[in-house]
Amino acid sequence: MKPFRFHREADAKFTEALNHYTGLGPRLGGDFYDKIEKVIAAVCAHPRSSRQIDPRVRRHLVPKFPYGVLDIDEPDCVWIIAVAHLKRDPDYWKNRLTD
């Protein structure tokens, strides 16, 4: 299993979404956190297992929530470039490909 690292903006958006769901209810926040963690574990175990949405980027859907984990499989790790709400601007993360 590969290690992973978050893009700083992806980490901030994940925290923002987690705070939102926790504000709606602690169980909901916990469920969101658990689902994201499971998706990240699956990504690290099988980095090329989901839909390719850009030449380097794959999107892994988060069950029960309108989010996807967008990542790049790098030689030494999986780089999480976005924890993206799927009903918002779909391309907001593209500027992160040059960071």
pLDDT of residue 90 exceeding 80: no
What would the pLDDT profile of 15-69 be if each residue is shown by its tens digit? Answer: 999 999 999 999 999 999 999 999 999 999 999 888 999 999 999 999 999 999 9
3-state secondary structure of 30: helix
Burial per residue of 31-66, b for 16 or more beta-carbon CB atoms within 10 angstroms, e otherwise: ebeebbeebbeebbeebeebeeeeeebbbbebeebe
Q: How far is CA 46 from CA 36, 38, 39, 40, 92, in A?
A: 15, 12, 10, 10, 25
More confident residue, 94 or 65: 65
Confidence of residue 79 (pLDDT cuts 50, 70, 90): very high
Domain covering 4-86: architecture: 2-Layer Sandwich (3.30)
* Domain regions of the chain by residue span: 4-86
**Over residues 64-87, mean pLDDT:** 95
Q: Does 95 have pLDDT greater than 80? A: no
